[in-house]
A and B are shown apart, each in its own frame.
Chain A
Amino acid sequence: MPVVNIKVERLKRLVPGVKVNKVLNAMPFVALDIEGIDNNIIRVEYNPNRPDFSSDYGIVRALRGLLGIETGAPKFKLAGKSGLEIEVDQAVKRIRPYVAGLVARNGKLNDETIKQLISMQEDLHNGLGRRRKKASIGIHNLDGIKFPVTYKTVSGDYTFEPLGESSNQSIDRILKESETGKQYGRILKGLGRYPVIVDSAGATISFPPIINGNVTKVDKNCRNLFVEVTATDQKAAEDALAIIAVTLYDAGFEIRTVTIDSGKKVETPQMKPKVISADIGYVNSILGMALDAKQAIDYLKKSRLDAKASGKKIICTVPRYRVDINHPIDIAEEVAIGYGIFNLEPTFPASPTAGQKNLLSTYFCAIREALTGLGMIEALGFSLTSREVQYNAFGITGKDALAVDGSKSLEHEILRDSLIPALLQSLSRNVHEEYPQRLFEIGKTFHKNGALTERWNVGGVITHVDAGYTEIRSVMQALIKSCFGRDAITKAAQNTMFMEGRSAEIVIDGILMGTIGEVTPLALENFKLRMPVAAFEIDLSHIIKDK
């Protein structure tokens, strides 16, 4: 989850008149989580549905509302058109089709504001921008750019001076050698051409989504900024730009639109608010409240939304940067947040139904009772295991095993088809504990017979100096008899887990349901066990027929 660092002094300045503690205590109620405070920097975690929280300006905007300092939609005004143009070459259509931009003038930047802007840019890249693939942002020093600029494509040997370098480099080289090139280069892989933004004097100001040009580097002396967003998704570009617009406005800049000329001319950013209506009855029903329209509107204002009543309807004006509000249900939530979740009292409706456990649970309880009654202790193993434990330890390969992609460790590569290996693994962790040791597990096993099937199994192991087939057979037959009233039959059969001549299939009601035997010394050695082990495993799917 993304994190924003806010300096305590800045918080004090941006939320004036309220004790810092009160501000911190209010944060959870706009869904912010304080991770920690070190050296007067508060680390605030926010949810990805609120990309406007990616800078402290956004967080403060919400807090000022909830604390009643400034309510209703935040002040924002476009100062008009900048008259500056981005011309779009059709060639970008198949590479990275969308571009939008804005101009921010007459602002003042300091170290902290720049930090917040960079952090916001990173969060927008990762979240909304889906790691720059969907959208990426370039923030540039406006002064010195010769407009109109052109958004076009170039070949791999095109050169320019990238940000932070002192000489020209080719696109190919940047992709291969630079950090961002290596990280994000795959977005442009195989397309053959590369998007760049170039000004009228031929200076390359951006190579999206990889890196800016050095020529438009931003420092704290900059008073004017040019922001461009390129994207494979138009909405993502516009959402990101809207958030940047209100943030720069709050930072003291004057925001003007940029003309995008791709055949027809369009002004960006488009900051028109959305209008969403919600029925007051609907809102009350969702929340379990009995508010009138006026009250609901007051609470929406605390959530930084404007609204007016029209009969039973609340007509809510949602500022463009609130990309999380799309549906009347979102309006209901904003009413609740403005009201204050801390103010909501729980209600306790009577249950309309009687409850019950399902058949599976009931059977499992019976099996547990029988096995614990026979002195066995329940173990819990993992569904994901290694080929080593599941197959190699018994001298076989598991090439047909059901595997998962991209596991971060060899220990969790395949889905187990039997419980006994994990039980042996548990025994190997207990070689220094008192014997006899008796473990069982009820767990799911996974099989591939055409379709992928999941089955519930029960397995048990007994180990001590005299452990053997007779004892485990007694236990297994007692389990089947006392739980299910059946007699288990054991038919001699070979099994790679067990010693030759000491293994059998378990047959109940004429159906083959399991396996039983003395574990082969090869496996005992591999599991570093020093005592004989006898084991059984039964597939419960034939016995327990759940609807």
Chain B
Amino acid sequence: MAEVLASGMLDNDEINAAISGARRNHWIQLTEGKMVTTPLADVQSPEEIFLSRITDIGLDSTNLSVENKKVIENLKKRPEYLVMKEVKYPQISISEIGKMILPMIEREKSKERKLTSELITSGKWKEVEFSALDVEAPAPAVYPGRRHPLVDIIEEVKEIFVGLGFSEIDGPVVQSGFWNFDALFTPQDHPAREMQDTFYISGQRQQIPATSEQKRKVAEVHKKGWSTKWNIKEAESMVLRTHTTPVTLRHLAMIKPEVGRYFSVGRVFRNEKVSYKHLIEFHQVEGVATAPLASLRDLMGLQKEFYAKMGIKKVKFWPTFFPYTEPSLQSMVYNEKLEKWVELFGMGIFRPEVTEPLGIKNRVLAWGGGLERIAMFRFRLHDVRELYGNRLAWLRSVPRCQL
């Protein structure tokens, strides 16, 4: 002990702790002012015995004697001396229910899970039993390919038109000012022709795609009707069409049918600020019907028939104004879901100023409007932009059939 104390390996705190510990265990005693070891010092203490039992892999402390438990408590008092680790050993054992169905499982083990090609062709399927499946559990979600819901409506509208005897026509989205405005009796200083409402293609002009006779006659009608100088440069500008009417009008001017029914569905453009109810680009449908004695009441009838085929029964008509039709009517339909009247298609008879210069002799009934509105009602959307967001959460969930 004297050597240990003199070696300098222990510092003063440790020396004091060692001495008091040794005295407590009666390994040393103070005799005549000197510290001497006792015979007990040579006997192995319970701690020492215990420590010799701890191997590299540790000692399981769960089933120890009371005495050894005391030893551990003592050793734990020493800082950073013993490390206690909790080790979990999971144990699995069969429960009561398990014991009950054990015989069933034993029987299942002998059943086949898969009907393999081998079993079929070898005939062995006759000799085996097949296990049952949990047919009540749901399966992983898969999503069918799908037409866009707005296209569902567009196709439905096309079918209705075809059913009413209308043939489809299509035309360019980029139109000359001539066909988009001038031929439709819209004066050249009309506010709708300004850049704030209409998209002009930058730096593009074109020779008006019309015969010189058509150009001359339209110019005349403008001078007479609007008393403003007609500027051919305005007519040569190129715009993104603001309605599909230039397409139907050009078709009629080209074919000049005695009787005919035509329709067109396509995109139109308005230079607006995009909002929850306005888009700058949307789908418009337009129908024209021409016959020698086509009348306003016929036009109302066509509307009613069209709406009836869309499932709309309550329709009313109000007078309104469009630059190229006279008389003009607005239709209001009753929306059962919203329980209110909403404005839908506009209609009218093409003005003589529109048809005469193009040599269209018979009366032309025309009507049309935007389709996004119908889509918003049907799909209960509150923001028209959702129709073009292409969010799969919506596309994957819209039912194909609205019952």
Residues of A within 8 A of B (CB): 28-31, 47-50, 130-131, 134, 233-235, 285-289, 326-327, 329-330, 332-333, 336-337, 341-342, 344-349, 351-358, 360-361, 365, 368, 371-384, 402-409, 412, 415, 426, 429-430, 433-434, 437-439, 444, 446, 451-452, 454, 546
Cβ 8 A contact of B167, one of A30, A49, A356, A377:
A356
Cβ 8 A contact of A374, one of B145, B165, B303:
B145
Residues of B within 8 A of A (CB): 141, 143-148, 150-151, 155, 158, 161-170, 172-174, 189, 191, 195-196, 199-204, 206, 225, 227-228, 238, 240, 259-261, 263, 267, 269, 271-274, 280-281, 291, 293-298, 300-305, 316-321, 323, 326-329, 349, 351-353, 363, 387-393, 395-396
Q: 13 other contacts beyond A285-B293, A378-B147, with CB at 8 A cut-off?
A: A49-B323, A130-B189, A233-B227, A329-B352, A344-B296, A347-B301, A349-B291, A349-B298, A355-B168, A375-B143, A382-B280, A383-B269, A454-B172
* Interfacial chain B residues near A49, Cβ < 8 Å: 321, 323
* Interfacial chain B residues near A430, Cβ < 8 Å: 390-393
Cβ 8 A contact of B145, one of A47, A287, A375:
A375
Q: Is there an interface contact between B162 and A406, defined as CB atoms closer than 8 Å?
A: no
Give the complex CA separation of A104 and B352 in angstroms. Answer: 39
Given contacts A287-B297, A326-B225, A349-B298, A404 and B202 within 8 Å (CB-CB): yes
Given contacts A288-B295, A351-B165, A356-B168, A408 and B321 within 8 Å (CB-CB): no
Total cross-chain contacts (CB, 8 A): 248
Q: Is there an interface contact between A379 and B196, defined as CB atoms closer than 8 Å?
A: no
In the complex, what residue of chain B is closest to A133 when comparing beta carbons? B189
* Interfacial chain A residues near B363, Cβ < 8 Å: 286
* Interfacial chain A residues near B172, Cβ < 8 Å: 454
Given contacts A134-B189, A347-B295, A433 and B320 within 8 Å (CB-CB): no
Q: Is there an interface contact between A439 and B390, defined as CB atoms closer than 8 Å?
A: yes
Cβ 8 A contact of A377, one of B146, B202, B296:
B146
Cβ 8 A contact of A289, one of B170, B297, B388:
B297
* Interfacial chain B residues near A360, Cβ < 8 Å: 170
Cβ 8 A contact of B387, one of A288, A352, A380:
A380
Task: Jot down 20 A-B pairs with beta carbons below 8 A, ordered by A.
Answer: A287-B295, A288-B296, A326-B225, A333-B328, A337-B319, A344-B297, A346-B303, A352-B260, A355-B161, A357-B168, A371-B145, A377-B148, A380-B150, A383-B281, A404-B199, A405-B199, A405-B200, A430-B390, A452-B201, A454-B172
Q: Is there an interface contact between B295 and A286, defined as CB atoms closer than 8 Å?
A: yes
Give the complex CA separation of A352 and B391 in angstroms. Answer: 43
Q: Is there an interface contact between A329 and B326, defined as CB atoms closer than 8 Å?
A: yes
B194 to chain A, nearest CB (A): 9
Give the complex CA separation of A406 and B169 in angstroms. Answer: 31
* Interfacial chain B residues near A408, Cβ < 8 Å: 271-273, 280
Q: Is there an interface contact between A377 and B273, defined as CB atoms closer than 8 Å?
A: no
* Interfacial chain B residues near A406, Cβ < 8 Å: 195-196, 199-200, 271
* Interfacial chain A residues near B263, Cβ < 8 Å: 355
Q: Is there an interface contact between A333 and B326, defined as CB atoms closer than 8 Å?
A: yes
Give the complex CA separation of A421 and B203 in angstroms. Answer: 25
* Interfacial chain A residues near B163, Cβ < 8 Å: 355
* Interfacial chain B residues near A28, Cβ < 8 Å: 318-319
A355 to chain B, nearest CB (A): 4
* Interfacial chain A residues near B228, Cβ < 8 Å: 233
* Interfacial chain A residues near B240, Cβ < 8 Å: 383-384, 404
* Interfacial chain B residues near A348, Cβ < 8 Å: 298, 301-302, 304-305
Q: Is there an interface contact between B141 and A426, defined as CB atoms closer than 8 Å?
A: no
Cβ 8 A contact of A372, one of B146, B200, B317:
B146
In the complex, what residue of chain A is closest to B282 when comparing beta carbons? A382
Given contacts A433-B392, A452-B201, A454-B172, A29 and B297 within 8 Å (CB-CB): no
B interface: dominant SS = mixed
* Interfacial chain A residues near B271, Cβ < 8 Å: 404, 406-408
* Interfacial chain A residues near B238, Cβ < 8 Å: 452
Q: Is there an interface contact between A377 and B195, defined as CB atoms closer than 8 Å?
A: no
Q: Is there an interface contact between A377 and B145, defined as CB atoms closer than 8 Å?
A: yes
In the complex, what residue of chain B is closest to A50 when comparing beta carbons? B321
B227 to chain A, nearest CB (A): 5
* Interfacial chain B residues near A332, Cβ < 8 Å: 326-327
Give the complex CA separation of A344 and B304 in angstroms. Answer: 13
* Interfacial chain B residues near A383, Cβ < 8 Å: 173, 240, 267, 269, 281
Give the complex CA separation of A133 and B78 in angstroms. Answer: 101
Given contacts A50-B321, A352-B261, A409-B274, A404 and B147 within 8 Å (CB-CB): no
Q: Is there an interface contact between B390 and A47, defined as CB atoms closer than 8 Å?
A: no
Q: Is there an interface contact between B164 and A402, defined as CB atoms closer than 8 Å?
A: no
Give the complex CA separation of A358 and B166 in angstroms. Answer: 11
Which 6 A-B residue pairings sit nearest by Cβ, starting from the closest? A351-B165, A288-B295, A288-B297, A372-B145, A47-B321, A346-B300
Q: Is there an interface contact between A454 and B173, defined as CB atoms closer than 8 Å?
A: yes
Q: Is there an interface contact between B318 and A29, defined as CB atoms closer than 8 Å?
A: yes
* Interfacial chain B residues near A234, Cβ < 8 Å: 227
In the complex, what residue of chain A is closest to B171 when comparing beta carbons? A454
* Interfacial chain A residues near B297, Cβ < 8 Å: 287-289, 344-347
Give the complex CA separation of A375 and B317 in angstroms. Answer: 44
In the complex, what residue of chain B is closest to A425 when comparing beta carbons? B390
* Interfacial chain B residues near A330, Cβ < 8 Å: 326
Q: Is there an interface contact between B195 and A405, defined as CB atoms closer than 8 Å?
A: yes
Q: Is there an interface contact between B390 and A380, defined as CB atoms closer than 8 Å?
A: yes
Q: Is there an interface contact between B321 and A378, defined as CB atoms closer than 8 Å?
A: no
Give the complex CA separation of A373 and B392 in angstroms. Answer: 17
Q: Is there an interface contact between B320 and A31, defined as CB atoms closer than 8 Å?
A: yes
Given contacts A285-B293, A403-B202, A404-B202, A380 and B388 within 8 Å (CB-CB): yes
Q: Is there an interface contact between B300 and A358, defined as CB atoms closer than 8 Å?
A: no
A503 to chain B, nearest CB (A): 24
* Interfacial chain B residues near A130, Cβ < 8 Å: 189, 191
Give the complex CA separation of A351 and B294 in angstroms. Answer: 12
* Interfacial chain A residues near B162, Cβ < 8 Å: 355-357
Give the interface centre of A351, A372, A444 by most chain B CB atoms within 10 Å: A351
Cβ 8 A contact of B170, one of A358, A365, A451:
A358
Q: Is there an interface contact between A344 and B317, defined as CB atoms closer than 8 Å?
A: yes
Cβ 8 A contact of A407, one of B141, B155, B199, B227:
B199
